[in-house]
Amino acid sequence: MSRKCSVCKRGSLNANSRSHSNIATKKRQHINLQTKKINGEKTKICVSCIRNKYK
């Protein structure tokens, strides 16, 4: 299963990690995914969707 929210379809972002000498190396910023049972099946949902839709 990929690192995407099954509700809003958000995924990872690309960013740069900067060293002290300002050299850029690429990194990925993953969203905060949690597993939650919805209608009896496990799904991966981001925390912002849980806060907004599934209280």
Q: What is the pLDDT along the chain (55 residues), one digit of tens a residue?
A: 589 999 999 999 999 999 999 999 999 999 999 999 989 999 999 999 999 986 5
How many independent structural domains does the chain possess?
1
In a domain, 46, yes or no: yes
In a domain, 1, yes or no: no
Does 24 reside within a domain?
yes
Q: Are the C-beta atoms of 3 and 31 separated by less than 8 Å?
A: yes
pLDDT of residue 24: 98
What is the per-residue DSSP string for the chain?
--SS-TTT----EEEEEE-TT--EEEEEE---EEEEEETTEEEEEEHHHHHHH--
In angstroms, the CA 5 to CA 43 distance is 8
Which domain range does residue 22 map to? 13-53
The span from the CA of 1 to the CA of 4, in Å, is 8
Note the pLDDT of residue 41: 93
Residue 42 forms part of a structural domain: yes
Global pTM reads 0.71
Residue 2 lies in a domain: no
